[in-house]
Amino acid sequence: MMLGLAALQLPAGATQREVPEPEASPPSPPVAPCVIVEVGGTRSGDLECAARQVARAAKIARAQADAIRTLSAVRAGSPDIRVGVTSLSGTRLRMGSNLGVSARPARPAAAPVTPMGRQP
Q: What is the pLDDT of residues 4-44, one digit of tens each?
A: 444 445 455 544 444 444 444 455 656 667 777 788 888 77
pTM (2 decimals)? 0.34
The confidence score (pLDDT) of residue 14 equals: 47
The confidence score (pLDDT) of residue 90 equals: 81
Separation between Cα atoms, residue 25 and residue 13, nearest integer Å = 37
Query: Nearest to residue 46, comparing CAs of 25, 28, 31?
Result: 31
Q: At a CB cut-off of 8 Å and minimum separation 6, what does 110 contact?
A: none
Confidence of residue 77 (pLDDT cuts 50, 70, 90): low
Tell me the torsion sign for CA atoms 4, 9, 13, 14.
Answer: positive
Least confident of 1-10, 34-43, 76-85, 107-116: 1-10
Separation between Cα atoms, residue 36 and residue 54, nearest integer Å = 16
